[in-house]
Amino acid sequence: MTSLDPIQVFRTEAAELFEQIESGLLDLLNDLSDQDTIDAVFRGLHTLKGSGAMFGFEALAAFTHHCETAFDRVRKGQVPATDELVAAVLDAQDHMKALVSTPQGDHEDASNRLLAALHAAVGGAATTGHVVTPPLPQASAQAAAPASAPAKGQAFHIAFRLPANAMINGTNPLGLLDELRELGECTVKADLSTIPGLGSLEPTDLYIGWSVDLVTEQGRDAIDDVFIFVMDDMDIKVTEVAPVEAKAAEAAPAAKAASPAPEATLQKAEPAKAPGNEPKHGGKQAENVRVPAERLDELMDRVGELVIAQSRLSQLAGSSADLHLRAVSEDVERLSGELRDTMMVLRMVPVGSLFGRFRRLVHDLARETGKVIELETEGETTEVDKTVIERLADPLVHLVRNSIDHGLEPPDERVAAGKDKTGRVILSARQSGGEVIITIKDDGRGINRDRVRAKAESSGLIQPGQMLTDQELLQLIFQPGFSTAAQVTNLSGRGVGMDVVKKTVEALRGVIDVRSENGRGSEISLRIPLTLAIIDGLLVRVGAGSYVIPLSAVEECLELSLEDDLRSRGRSFISLRDNLVPFLRLRELFETGTPPDRYQKMVVISTGDARVGLVVDQIIGDHQTVIKSMSKLHHDVVTFSGATILGDGGVALILDVTHLVAVGQYQEAHLRAAG
Amino acid sequence: MSAHILTVDDSASIRMTTKIALTGAGYQVTEAVDGLDGLNKAKAGRFDLIVTDLNMPNMNGLSMIEALRKSAAHMGVPIIFLTTESDAEMKARAKAAGATGWITKPFDAEQLVKIARKVLGK
A616 confidence band (pLDDT: 50, 70, 90): very high
**pLDDT given for residue A312 in this prediction:** 81
Q: Which residues of chain B does A178 touch, with a Cβ-Cβ cutoff of 8 Å?
A: 121-122
Sorted by sequence, the CB contacts under 8 Å of residue A208 that are 6+ apart come out as A161, A173, A190, A191, A192, A194, A195
Q: Tell whether A35 and A163 lie within a shared domain.
A: no
Q: Tell whether A513 and A365 lie within a shared domain.
A: yes
Instruction: Name the residue facing B118 among A141, A267, A278 (closest C-beta).
Output: A141
Instruction: Name the residue facing B33 among A9, A137, A285 (closest C-beta).
Output: A285
Tell me if chain A has a CB within 8 Å of the CB of B95: yes
Q: Tell whether A471 and A616 lie within a shared domain.
A: no
Q: Which residue in chain A has the smallest CA separation from B37?
A: A287
**pLDDT given for residue A89 in this prediction:** 87
Q: Assess whether pLDDT exceeds 50 at residue A278.
A: no
CATH of residue A226's domain is 3.30.70.260
Q: Assess whether pLDDT exceeds 50 at residue A599.
A: yes
A571 confidence band (pLDDT: 50, 70, 90): low
Instruction: Name the residue facing B13 among A55, A171, A232 (closest C-beta).
Output: A55
Q: Tell whether A388 and A331 lie within a shared domain.
A: no
Tell me if chain B has a CB within 8 Å of the CB of A171: yes
CATH topology of domain B4-120: Rossmann fold (3.40.50)
Q: Tell whether A340 and A359 lie within a shared domain.
A: no
Average pLDDT, integer, range A403-432: 87
Distances (CA, A) of A668 to A467, A562, A566, A616, A672: 16, 22, 18, 19, 6
A149 confidence band (pLDDT: 50, 70, 90): very low
CA distance B94 to chain A (A): 9
Q: Which residues of chain B does A271 touch, with a Cβ-Cβ cutoff of 8 Å?
A: 66
**Structural domain that includes position A478:** 351-529
User: Is residue A138 assigned to a domain?
Assistant: no
Q: What is the pLDDT of residues A73-99, one digit of tens each?
A: 888 888 888 888 888 888 888 888 888
**pLDDT given for residue B31 in this prediction:** 92
Distance CA A310, CA A321 (A): 18
Q: Tell whether A369 and A510 lie within a shared domain.
A: yes
Q: What is the pLDDT of residues A343-394, one digit of tens each?
A: 877 877 888 878 877 888 888 888 888 888 888 888 888 888 877 888 888 8
Least confident of A275-289, A464-478, B17-31: A275-289
Strand ranges of the sheet holding A373-378, from the earlier edge strand across to the other edge:
A373-378, A423-432, A435-442, A521-529, A511-517
Q: Which residues of chain A does B66 touch, with a Cβ-Cβ cutoff of 8 Å?
A: 271-272, 276
User: Is residue A134 assigned to a domain?
Assistant: no
Test mutation, B64, B84, B115, chain A, max A CBs within 10 A:
B84
**Top-confidence residue, A252 or A171:** A171
Q: Which residues of chain B does A46 touch, with a Cβ-Cβ cutoff of 8 Å?
A: 55, 84
Q: Assess whether pLDDT exceeds 60 at residue A179.
A: yes
Q: What is the pLDDT of residues A296-324, one digit of tens each?
A: 878 888 887 888 788 788 888 888 888 88
Instruction: Name the residue facing B11 among A51, A168, A272 (closest C-beta).
Output: A51
Percent of chain A at pLDDT > 90 equals 4
Average pLDDT, integer, range A495-521: 81
Q: What is the pLDDT of residues A22-76, one digit of tens each?
A: 888 888 888 888 888 888 888 888 888 888 877 778 888 888 888 888 888 888 8
Tell me if chain B has a CB within 8 Å of the CB of A140: yes
Instruction: Name the residue facing A51 among B14, B69, B114 (closest C-beta).
Output: B14
CA distance A61 to chain B (A): 10
Domain final residue pick, A529, A564, A597: A529
Tell me if chain A has a CB within 8 Å of the CB of B65: no
Test mutation, A54, A68, A71, A100, chain B, max B CBs within 10 A:
A54
Distance CA A145, CA A152 (A): 17
B85 touches B102 (CB < 8 A): no
| Number of domains within chain A | 5
Distance CA A613, CA B20 (A): 61
Average pLDDT, integer, range A451-465: 83
Helices A35-54 & B12-24, crossing angle to 10 degrees? 40
Cα torsion for B21, B27, B33, B36, to the nearest 10°? -140
CATH of residue A489's domain is 3.30.565.10
Test mutation, B53, B105, B107, B119, chain A, max A CBs within 10 A:
B105
Test mutation, A287, A289, A290, chain B, max B CBs within 10 A:
A287
Least confident of A431-440, A542-551, B19-28, B47-56: A431-440
A348 touches A434 (CB < 8 A): no
Q: Assess whether pLDDT exceeds 70 at residue A263.
A: no
Q: Tell whether A524 and A542 lie within a shared domain.
A: no
Strand partners, A216: A154, A184
**Top-confidence residue, A472 or A493:** A472
Q: Tell whether A14 and A115 lie within a shared domain.
A: yes
Q: Assess whether pLDDT exceeds 60 at residue A178.
A: yes
**pLDDT given for residue A569 in this prediction:** 63
Sorted by sequence, the CB contacts under 8 Å of residue A379 that are 6+ apart come out as A351, A428, A429, A430
Q: Assess whether pLDDT exceeds 50 at residue A285.
A: no
Q: Which residue in chain B has the smallest CA separation from A54?
A: B106
Q: Is 0.90 surpassed by the pTM of this model?
A: no
Least confident of A253-262, A569-578, A656-665: A253-262
Contact assignment for B63 to A272 by CB distance below 8 Å: yes
Question: What value, to the nearest 5°, has the Cα angle with vertex A531 and ends A527 and A533?
Answer: 135
Strand ranges of the sheet holding A209-216, from the earlier edge strand across to the other edge:
A184-191, A209-216, A154-161, A235-241
**pLDDT given for residue A236 in this prediction:** 84
A434 confidence band (pLDDT: 50, 70, 90): low
User: Is residue A130 assigned to a domain?
Assistant: no
Question: What value, to the nearest 5°, has the Cα angle with vertex A60 and ends A56 and A66?
Answer: 135
Distance CA A88, CA A114 (A): 7
Average pLDDT, integer, range A92-108: 82
Tell me if chain B has a CB within 8 Å of the CB of A169: yes
Average pLDDT, integer, range A270-294: 51
Contact assignment for A140 to B76 by CB distance below 8 Å: no
Q: Assess whether pLDDT exceeds 60 at residue A437.
A: yes
* Bridge pairing between strands A373-378 and A423-432: parallel
Domain final residue pick, A218, A245, A262: A262
A74 touches A81 (CB < 8 A): yes
Tell me if chain B has a CB within 8 Å of the CB of A40: yes
A272 three-class SS: coil
Contact assignment for A140 to B103 by CB distance below 8 Å: yes
Q: Tell whether A192 and A254 lie within a shared domain.
A: yes
User: Is residue A279 assigned to a domain?
Assistant: no
Extents of the domains making up chain B: 4-120
User: Is residue A413 assigned to a domain?
Assistant: yes
Instruction: Name the residue facing B13 among A6, A171, A232 (closest C-beta).
Output: A6
Tell me if chain B has a CB within 8 Å of the CB of A144: no
Q: Tell whether A85 and A220 lie within a shared domain.
A: no
Supply the mean pLDDT for chain A.
77
**pLDDT given for residue A589 in this prediction:** 86
Tell me if chain B has a CB within 8 Å of the CB of A204: yes
Least confident of A153-167, A509-523, A603-617, B80-94: B80-94
Q: What is the pLDDT of residues A538-563, one digit of tens each?
A: 999 998 889 999 887 888 998 887 77
User: Is residue A272 assigned to a domain?
Assistant: no
In this prediction the ipTM stands at 0.84
Residue A173: is the preceding peptide bond cis (ω within 30°)?
Answer: no
